[in-house]
Structure 1
Amino acid sequence: MTVLERPRRATRGVGVSAPRPDGVPKVRGQFQFSSDLFAEGMLWGHVLRSPHPSARIRRLDVGPAWAIDGVRAVLTAADVPGAPTYGLEIPDQPVLAADVVRYMGEPVAAVAADHPETARRAAAAVLVDYEPLDPLVDPEDAISAPPIHPDGNVFRHLRIEHGDPEARGEVVVEGTYEVGMQDQAFMGPESGLAVPAEDGGVDLYIATQWLHVDRDQVARCLGLPLEKVRLHLAGVGGAFGAREDVSIQVHLCLLALATGRPVKMVLSREDSFFSHVHRHPARIWLRHQADRQGRLVRVDARVLLDGGAYASSSTAVISNATAFATGPYRVPNATVDGWVVRTNNPPCGAMRGFGAVQACFAYEAQMDKLAAALGMDPVQLRLANALRHGDTLITGQRIEGSAPVAQVIEAAAGAPLPAVGPEALPEVALPGGAGRTATRSRVRRGVGFAVGYKNLMYSEGFDDASEARVRLELADDGPLATVTCAAAEVGQGFVTLARQICEEELGVERVVLAPPSTTRIGSAGSTSASRQTWMSGGAVAEACRAVAGRLLERAARRLGTDPGRLVLAEGAVQALEGADALSVAELLAEGPLEETVTFHHRQTEPLDERGQGDAHVAFAFAAHRAVVDVDLDLGLVKVVQIATAQDVGRVLNPLQVLGQIEGGIAQGVGLAVMEEIVLDQGRVRNPSFTDYLIPTALDMPDVAVAALVEEPEPGAPFGAKGVGEPPTISSTPAVVAAIRAATGLPLTRVPVRPADIALATPGDPRP
């Protein structure tokens, strides 16, 4: 990997590549993930899932399951004591299906037994008499089809009207684009441990992205008060949005309460594919109109997302896909219709990029098509229309923060290209790799470019907040700061960043993080939407500053001066003028200091009936240039290099920023050329990593970070923006643009499959 060299500003605090405290244990296999949990006398849980995408349940017989020795509980919908449904935004999903099933994999019964294999066999022994129905699988049909759920088939329809509806441009291009269903493909499948408590409640140790919202849904389904449902974060083996929704949480707690014993569940990879949401498949039509100089005049769009059987976060995903449908460009006139609908396909929800990924693939293909129609360089066309600070979006919102779109475009476009072409590469480096399948003369190289953007944090009036507590005390070997925050560490690095913030604000060398739990602190919100650096980082920073203020007050009393004349630095409080100073250790001898802070971002508002409103807090931008080699005969693609530049506000940990960029690009490359859940009339045909392919180390290109653009964001802690999502958004269209350049094919769908290239035309598509 080519990396950006940055000078070290200090040995600790923000701006330093501090190592992850969980890094070494994870590499050595010593880190305890949720699948490693154990409790004395625990049982094992298993869930029976529907084999049909749509069916009525005519009869259900649990007798054969009970007849198996070692079975301790067999639960159906009738055994749910509280609300029968749950949901991240809309409680429309049954805990266990009662009368109908609406997607392949829907839970029907839950079993607990002495051994995991016994639990699996008992679940398989439950007799279910299904009456299969014709599934509703086409999202276009779903808009007007008879409802398959009491809440209807349309989760949300959003229309944006901006500018003059009669405005027209001299050059017009249009196209329809499709995005397949992508899986988050985290390494650690869903797992957890529920332990019944003496007070009639339950403690759940679970890998999740949002402890408090999980708790609220679980308590509602159990019919218990919130204080009797206690969630504790277990080691998370990846998330990327799929752990925002409840999966096995309610089932585990039901089984533990029914048996009076701890119950553990670890899903197989196949069951994991069925238990969590996926990225929404999309069908997007766009028409771009510009003047002869390449300035955009008007964009019309229709965005259709398949939400699958249940709502999850679909209403928010379509908001993003619709609002960002025209890209990070100045568009004076636009009309965009966005639909997200219910089908009998697997439920879809949050995944890295959250609606912006689907939109970016479509609008960047259009920008290349427009550049070709104008006879204009694609990069120059983007620069001519790039958003700037102060510009107005199609939702009527003015960009008040940083928007270095031109800077990221120029930096990514200007990165050095690979020095060696396919004609000189070793055989193993050609498409097909060690198989030596490529004929060198039939390999073509292409270069493609894309730029994208996304909102940070929650939008449309959501009351977004995070709570953190910082306690500063004197331990045996000096001052010790303890941070308590419910932010879920899912690999993004908050466990490192929280320490760095404490070091920066309090000057202490020893910082520990209390285990996240709903019993210790209020909600930190979800680890999603690129928000934890801003929100929970902001909460920790504010709590540290409150503690520092009390420390200064304590010192001021002892020194007989005003706190405003004192400063905390290098482990001591000293006067701005004069030599008076007191060590932090001396001041803490009087007793510990503790402060709890709830941090909010500025208020946003819902989009109105015309799709207008100040809906988003801030935005992050990134550009990618991809270089690919394509075997024209076999349709195989080798991504050789991706150069990128990203708007980061301020770099708080350079090493972690680079890690997020690499990881995001890996998922973008996957969506471009290999990752798709294959559906056949609602049935999933590839629920395993044997058939659902993800990039390996051999598939990853060289990642050249051309620039990390640091324009501090007003209102953000230390000016930093979240960096996890932008790498995924525009890397996919950049790769596909490069494949188009190599082949001359339109390629309007991702992932690009070998047949899309090899069977597109007889012979060489570019003689």
Structure 2
Amino acid sequence: MALDPRVTTTPAGTPTKVTQGSQTKGGIGESTLRPDGTLKVTGEFAYSSDMWHEDMLWGQTLRSTVAHAEIRSIDISEALAVPGVHAVLTYDDLPTEMKNYGLEIQDTPVLAHGKVRHHGEPVALVAADHPETARRAAAKIRIDYAELPLITDEESATAPGAVLVHENRDDHHIGHVPHPNIVHRQPIVRGDAALARERADVIVEGEYVFGMQDQAFLGPESGLAVPAEDGGVDLYVATQWLHSDLRQIAPVLGLPEEKVRMTLSGVGGAFGGREDISMQIHACLLALRTGKPVKMVYNRFESFFGHVHRHPAKLYYEHGATRDGKLTHLKCRIVLDGGAYASASPAVVGNAASLSVGPYVVDDVDIEAVALYTNNPPCGAMRGFGAVQACFAYEAQMDKLAAKLGMDPVEFRQLNAMEQGTIMPTGQPVDSPAPVAELLRRIKARPMPPERQWEVAGGEADVRALPGGLSNTTHGEGVVRGVGYAVGIKNVGFSEGFDDYSTAKVRVEVVGGVPVATVHTAMAEVGQGGVTVHAQIARTELGVTQVTIHPADTQVGSAGSTSASRQTYVTGGAVKNSCELVREKVLEIGRRRFGSHHPAWATAELLLEGGKVVTDGGEVLADLVDVLEDEAVEVEAEWRHRPTEAFDLRTGQGNGHVQYSFAAHRAVVEVDTELGLVKVVELACAQDVGKALNPLSVVGQIQGGTTQGLGVAVMEEIIVDPKTAKVRNPSFTDYLIPTILDTPTIPVDVLELADEHAPYGLRGIGEAPTLSSTPAVLAAIRDATGLELNRTPVRPEHLTGT
């Protein structure tokens, strides 16, 4: 990956004061290296798919070959007769009356019952002594399907007499949706958009199509379930949310939660695709039935069916503006295809609706967002969910308005940019820095990359720098450069009244004559760097150098999901809180032991720094080793951010979000307009991170999110056949993701404008760059070609008209 090492870090504003242990090496603000980094790059790191247990069996899932059908019969006799098969399970073998699960709505069957609702739905399970035996046995299960009419889009979903994807809905959303095939609907109405429209001097409209994107994590779904002597089960799994999995797994198994013990295993990426259950329940069922450990590992083909994807969307937008460039109103409708089961669709709808205006001041809005039930693949959480689709549309609209007014597209955005104090369309004030205009100024001011980079000394062309790259399909004769800009807004943390909190257990003791801190949380480390940040917080707050990160499991309180850019904010906050409580206990011990010998113990503010107890004036009172002696101090504490509230179901008003993050991009592309090939030369990003706890990790997150946005701009899309609702490209041969040869230079400009409400002033960062990189690339391609290009991804035929 061609990454620009140059990073500008610009403090502005005052972060939360950091005093404790500020001199301890490896603390907050330093670029510390990942403890698992060397193991990962050398191939020695143990992922969940690497686990092994003596005498273990292998699990296999049989999935539906059709998208919507009645199951007339299932014959497992041939599968059971295969030598080496220990169990074959169907819906009738499930042990309890609880046979469904789900993040919010329990509408997903553990195994299909009565009918299947999408291509690839699990129907039966096999456990055998070898993975190939399990696959062969699964192939021998005979299922008689009677195919049913398909629901594939809004027209078929809401037509009079439409077939219902779920016949007997009883969830809490059913009372406010206009049709049972709509999962959730969220309107947002503020001001009078119809009246404001009359003040507009220019009006632009657009219909936009956003394709279905896959998380494309490198490690497929996998885990190991081990039956226990107490009748319970130990599950080692790659996931994003241990306690949410536990809440869904235990009732289906008929076990109390304390008998389902979960431990996080090595996770090979997630990006939202591991928030939902995949193989967890299946492996546990097989383990409990056979009495043997059961390992399940999806291959890449099965992984495309084993997790949810990003919602494809159709977005209908209308904006108005005055002659001097001020936005007058917004009217929009966003239709998200949620597929066969709800997953995170309600939350995605809330995000899409509440962030559909973008980082702009628009007082009069009329917004509606809906998610559909269809027979397409289930969709749910993916990095930046809901906000990504909306950003693609509203940023295209900004360019259209600027062009119609004859204004510079960056200046037009800056003229309408929100700032601290702006009122969101939901009525919520933005009460932390919102440097939208400044981010745009910074990316526009960056020097441009050199023209015609493929031309090198001696007249030889460097084909790697040309559209088409090493395929050598163009020599630059018809290549045109384009430049595009975009900026986005993303919420941080869970929203709409969800009780968003995290728990951390911190222990300090003396080991081998050295004070050591241990941090134990249930946070899923999926590559975001929490294992590094938690150690940095402990060093900063406790003044110790040596910090051990305990493996994440359900033996400690919930840390919530590794999603919504929330973990550093919430679990980092919990670690900080627990460290502060540990520090108080350490000082109590010190006062008890040394108070009579030194009056400062009783009177001065005491700090921990560099493994010592000091006064606020820096006077050393005692080593931690002397204070603790044979004692250990341990605290488990929760930390909550400030509360949110649900959006009103009629008007969309409410303080629904905790924090907002902002990123802006400038894309520079070169397009062969004759062949329809695109080369993204540079994707410069400017982002406000509040406080860079680990600058190296911050830049990595920004560059990673930027690259995922690039992928959906020019190559990534799951293709679903509209006639059969079957996935046509479930492999990395046909589903393309950016490689090192596709990834441009990504220079990053980091601002640090502290949010006084957040620990250390930090701001969640992982998702915002995924929003604005996609529309920036599309804007640059439009600039090069003059084409409208209202869908993602852009393909060669869209550029050549063939």
**Residue identity in the other structure for 2:741:** L
Q: Deviations over 1:734-767 (max 9, x none)?
A: 000000000000000000011100126xxxxxxx
**Residue identity in the other structure for 2:764:** G
Contact 2:63 2:123 in 1 (8 A): yes
1:118 aligns with 2:133: yes
After the TM superposition, which residues 738-749 of structure 1 pair with which residues of structure 2 at under 5 Å, given as runs? 738-749=780-791
Q: Tell me the secondary structure at the aligned position of residue 708 of structure 2.
A: helix
**Residue identity in the other structure for 1:4:** V
1:716 aligns with 2:747: no
Q: Pick from 716, 734, 742: which aligns with 2:776?
A: 734
Q: Deviations over 1:473-531 (max 9, x none)?
A: 0100400100010000000000000000001101101100111111x201000000000
| Structure 2 portions without partners, runs of 5+ | 12-21, 170-179, 457-461
The match for 1:36 is 50
1:306 aligns with 2:323: no
Partner Cα separation in structure 1 for residue 660 and residue 605 of structure 2:
38
Q: Pick from 555, 561, 574: which aligns with 1:539?
A: 574
Partner Cα separation in structure 2 for residue 490 and residue 143 of structure 1:
39
The match for 2:163 is 146
Partner Cα separation in structure 1 for residue 413 and residue 801 of structure 2:
32
After the TM superposition, which residues 363-378 of structure 1 pair with which residues of structure 2 at under 5 Å, given as runs? 363-378=394-409
- How big is the alpha-carbon RMSD for the aligned residues of Structure 1 and Structure 2? 1.4
Q: CA deviation at 1:555?
A: 2.1
Q: Tell me the secondary structure at the aligned position of residue 29 of structure 1.
A: coil
Contact 2:157 2:181 in 1 (8 A): yes
1:207 aligns with 2:238: yes
Contact 1:552 1:563 in 2 (8 A): no
Q: So what's the TM-score if we normalise by structure 1?
A: 0.97
The match for 1:135 is 150
Q: Tell me the secondary structure at the aligned position of residue 156 of structure 1.
A: strand
Q: Deviations over 1:43-71 (max 9, x none)?
A: 00000000101111011100010011000
The match for 1:104 is 119
Change in CA separation of 1:563 and 1:516 when aligned onto 2, cut-off 3 Å: farther
1:652 aligns with 2:669: no
Partner Cα separation in structure 2 for residue 692 and residue 565 of structure 1:
59
1:469 aligns with 2:486: no
The percentage of counterpart residues that share the same residue type is 54
Q: Pick from 529, 533, 549: which aligns with 1:493?
A: 529
Q: Deviations over 1:624-670 (max 9, x none)?
A: 00000111111111100011100100101111011111111111110
Partner Cα separation in structure 2 for residue 738 and residue 622 of structure 1:
17
The match for 1:287 is 318
The match for 2:729 is 686
Answer 1 or 2: higher relative contact order, Cα 8 Å, separation at least 6.
Answer: 2
Q: Pick from 589, 612, 615: which aligns with 1:575?
A: 615
Partner Cα separation in structure 1 for residue 751 and residue 277 of structure 2:
37
Q: Pick from 580, 594, 603: which aligns with 2:634?
A: 594
Partner Cα separation in structure 2 for residue 753 and residue 226 of structure 1:
49
1:261 aligns with 2:292: yes
Q: Tell me the secondary structure at the aligned position of residue 327 of structure 1.
A: coil
Contact 2:612 2:620 in 1 (8 A): no
Partner Cα separation in structure 1 for residue 83 and residue 264 of structure 2:
33
Partner Cα separation in structure 2 for residue 384 and residue 7 of structure 1:
23
Change in CA separation of 1:200 and 1:579 when aligned onto 2, cut-off 3 Å: closer
Change in CA separation of 1:579 and 1:484 when aligned onto 2, cut-off 3 Å: closer
1:362 aligns with 2:393: yes
Q: CA deviation at 1:410?
A: 0.9
Q: CA deviation at 1:428?
A: 2.8
Partner Cα separation in structure 1 for residue 653 and residue 9 of structure 2:
41
The match for 1:764 is none
The match for 1:162 is 190
**Residue identity in the other structure for 2:252:** C
Partner Cα separation in structure 1 for residue 92 and residue 642 of structure 2:
44
Q: Deviations over 1:435-472 (max 9, x none)?
A: 22114221111000000010000000000010001000
Q: CA deviation at 1:563?
A: 5.9
Q: CA deviation at 1:580?
A: 5.6
Partner Cα separation in structure 2 for residue 575 and residue 734 of structure 1:
52
Contact 2:426 2:654 in 1 (8 A): yes
Q: Deviations over 1:517-573 (max 9, x none)?
A: 11x201000000000000000000010111111122222331344265322222211
Q: Deviations over 1:569-602 (max 9, x none)?
A: 2221123459461111110115111111100010
1:192 aligns with 2:242: no
Partner Cα separation in structure 1 for residue 140 and residue 529 of structure 2:
43
**Residue identity in the other structure for 1:444:** V
The match for 1:21 is 35
Q: Tell me the secondary structure at the aligned position of residue 371 of structure 2.
A: strand
Q: CA deviation at 1:187?
A: 0.4
Q: Pick from 321, 341, 345: which aligns with 2:352?
A: 321
**Residue identity in the other structure for 1:69:** P
Contact 1:233 1:515 in 2 (8 A): yes
1:451 aligns with 2:487: yes
Contact 1:422 1:440 in 2 (8 A): no
| Structure 1 portions without partners, runs of 5+ | 761-767
1:627 aligns with 2:661: no
Moved more, 548-557 or 235-244: 548-557
Partner Cα separation in structure 2 for residue 527 and residue 343 of structure 1:
28
* Total equivalences in the alignment: 758
Contact 1:170 1:292 in 2 (8 A): yes
Q: Deviations over 1:397-435 (max 9, x none)?
A: 101112111111111111111023367363331111122
**Residue identity in the other structure for 2:510:** L
Q: Deviations over 1:232-263 (max 9, x none)?
A: 10100000000000011110000000000000
Change in CA separation of 1:578 and 1:131 when aligned onto 2, cut-off 3 Å: closer
Partner Cα separation in structure 1 for residue 775 and residue 623 of structure 2:
55
Change in CA separation of 1:62 and 1:415 when aligned onto 2, cut-off 3 Å: same
Q: Deviations over 1:159-208 (max 9, x none)?
A: 11011241121110010001000000000000000000111111110000
